[in-house]
Every structure is written in C-alpha cells, then in structure tokens.
Amino acid sequence: MSSDASFEQVWAGDERVFRLGIGELLALEEKLDCGCASVLNRIGAGEWRIADLKEPIRLGLMGGGTDAKRAKALVDEHVAPGRLLEAAVLARAILLKALVGDTREQVGKDDAATEAPGQNASPPPPSTEQAQS
C-alpha cells in the first residue's frame, strides 16, 4: 500500500503510476464541475460521461509523474470506443485509491494480532427460554 494514494497499473502497454493528490482532485472537480465523490458515484452506477473517465485517468497519470502532454496523448489514444468499460474500471480505481486508500488493508490489524483468541468475542446471547417456576 502506498501512503500517498499512488498505485501502479499496467495500462496502455506499460506499467504506469497513477495518483490523485489534492491538486489533481481540485482540478478534476473544476474541470467536471462536480465533486470527486459524485464522479465516483456516476462511474459506479454506470451513468458516467466520457469526461468522467478521461479526466481521472489523465490527472492520475500526471499526479503519478507523467508529463501533461504525454498523459493527454495516452488518454486520447486509449480511452476510446471499444475500450470505455476498461477505462471506467481504471478511472474508478484511481478515484477509490485517492478517496479511500487501500481497501485491502485491515483496520486494527496490529491490535488483532496481539489479542488472545476470543478476547474480543461477543458474549453468548441471553437465553430465550422463560424460567420455569
């Protein structure tokens, strides 16, 4: 996991680094005239626009260190008819990484490793049988 929300992905024939920092997220919001979460929701719901795919990928490439001209050329070439679903998956992954981080990381992983088994277990449910008099 990368603490700066960057990740590597094979795309457009090469291993590429994608990252949306605050600057790129602000540029995305300005360009699309809506919040980043709205773009993520549109992609997830299958209600995206072409710009919803192109901009996160282009800005993600730039945030990952790709020259702006090269990033635009790659997006123009590879976010194209016949490849739009692939672009939607990548754009969603870029946004998720920026907004949520690494979803594979376990919360409290270090604490869980040091606890005795059953230490955090819930008590058994109270009996549902009524006491007989």
Chain segment 98-121, per-residue pLDDT in tens? 999 876 654 444 444 444 444 444
Statement: residue 25 has pLDDT above 80:
yes
Q: What is the pTM of this model?
A: 0.76
Location of structure tokens 């790709």: 66
**Residues 47, 43: Cα–Cα separation, whole Å:** 6
Q: Which residues contact 39 (CB under 8 A, 6 or more apart)?
A: 28, 32, 48, 52, 55, 56, 95
Q: Which residues contact 94 (CB under 8 A, 6 or more apart)?
A: 18, 20, 56, 57, 60
What mean pLDDT do residues 22-42 have? 97
